Homo-oligomer: A and B are copies of this chain.
Amino acid sequence: MEARKRAILKAVVQEFTTSAVPVGSQILANRYFLNLSSATIRNELSNLADLGYLVQPHTSAGRIPSDQGYRYFVDFLMETEPLPRPVKVFIEEQVQGAPADGQLFVERVAMVVAAVTHNASVVSAAYGPRARIKHLDLVSLDPQAVLLILLMEGNLLRQQVIEISQPVEQGALSRLAGRILKNVAGKDREEVGSLAERLTPGVENEVLSQVLVLLDHFEQGAETLVVHDGVRNLLKQPEFTDTARLHEVLEILEESRHLSALLRQLIMESDLQVVIGSENLTEQLRSCTVVLTTYGPSGRLKGTLGVVGPTRMQYGQIVARLGAVARAASQRLAEIAS
């Protein structure tokens, strides 16, 4: 595309993302292209519309970017905005002070993302199929019931009540837990699996197989480790004055099953993903953009962190800020979840 067309497309996106009003040739000529007349710009706009980058809400209105227009903008024209000092400070303070607890950590990060992007945020805990067991403990509830406590890398803590075939009292349980831990500490799902196969039946094996169940549960059910925040930010956007739109989005956000599926399917591919409007496979998100990136202290451990908002969002700013939060979160997690 010629340079001038690109410049005009860029101007349209920038103008529209801040004003939310379809932008006309006059405004572009006055604010962005002082050396061109509005008529020239009209011709270019018309061309850009023919090419599919812009659309007109109705005949006598200005232009707004199509999904394809936003796509071109994000791929070729967008400049990531430098972080304003206060935003940088806010992110660092909040994330550096985030609790070690995996669940609380995720909630904190979601809060920060929502605050700095002024959109809804979505964050999943750092986990992965090769995550290692960090600690394990057994607590006696009644003679045959035991609470299994499992701490994974990323400081994800889970508990599960398990039944054992013969009564064991707390002292023996603690020793058993210590013995098992020696074998499984630092191991991942697969390694523990092969360990369990080699073990003769007995209480130790019963516990191990439950550990496996819990690990698998972790894996599929990353659902429980996805949180969202900042829905209130969406309410301020004109595209959500119609509550029907918002209802669709909330259906996704409040159903963590859907949400985790969405994240998993998207984040496979690359480190920064911008999914614009109709590019979304999820029906309910067709009028939204989802921006996702990953964070994590290591290659094994990956969490997702993202933004959900109207397709009209300030891409440059949001990508920059999301990246900053991701870096801070990775760093903090390396400290506390080593």
Contacts and interface: CB of A to CB of B under 8 A. Distances in A.
A232 to B, nearest CB: 4
B247 A101 contact: no
Interface stretch (A16-24, A43-51, A151-159, A194-202): A151-159
A277 interface: no
B224 A251 contact: no
A103 B107 CA distance: 12
A247 B224 contact: no
A306 interface: no
Contact of A254 (B161, B224, B230): B230
Contacts of A243: 235, 240-241, 243, 246
Given A151-B139, A231-B231, A243-B240, A101 B338 contact: no
Contacts of A320: none
A107 to B, nearest CB: 7
Q: Which of A103, A232, A235, A236 has the most CB of B within 10 A?
A: A232
A269 to B, nearest CB: 29
Contacts of A254: 229-232
Interface in A136-194: 137, 139, 141-142, 147, 149, 151, 155, 157-161, 174, 178
Interface in A283-338: 336, 338
A215 B178 CA distance: 26
Interface in A91-128: 99-101, 103-104, 107
A150 to B, nearest CB: 10
Given A235-B243, A235-B250, A247-B236, A224 B159 contact: no
Contact of A149 (B147, B151, B174, B224): B151
Given A107-B224, A160-B100, A243-B243, A139 B134 contact: yes
Contact of A142 (B149, B160, B174, B338): B338
A254 B338 CA distance: 31
A224 to B, nearest CB: 6
Nearest to A224: B104
Given A141-B338, A159-B101, A246-B235, A135 B151 contact: no
Contacts of A141: 338
A32 B320 CA distance: 62
Contacts of A101: 158-160
A159 B159 contact: no
A159 B149 contact: no
Interface in A228-284: 229-232, 235-236, 240-241, 243, 246-247, 250-251, 254
23 contacts: A99-B160, A100-B159, A100-B161, A104-B224, A134-B139, A135-B137, A135-B147, A135-B149, A137-B149, A142-B338, A147-B155, A149-B151, A149-B157, A155-B159, A174-B178, A229-B254, A231-B231, A231-B250, A232-B247, A232-B250, A232-B251, A240-B243, A243-B243
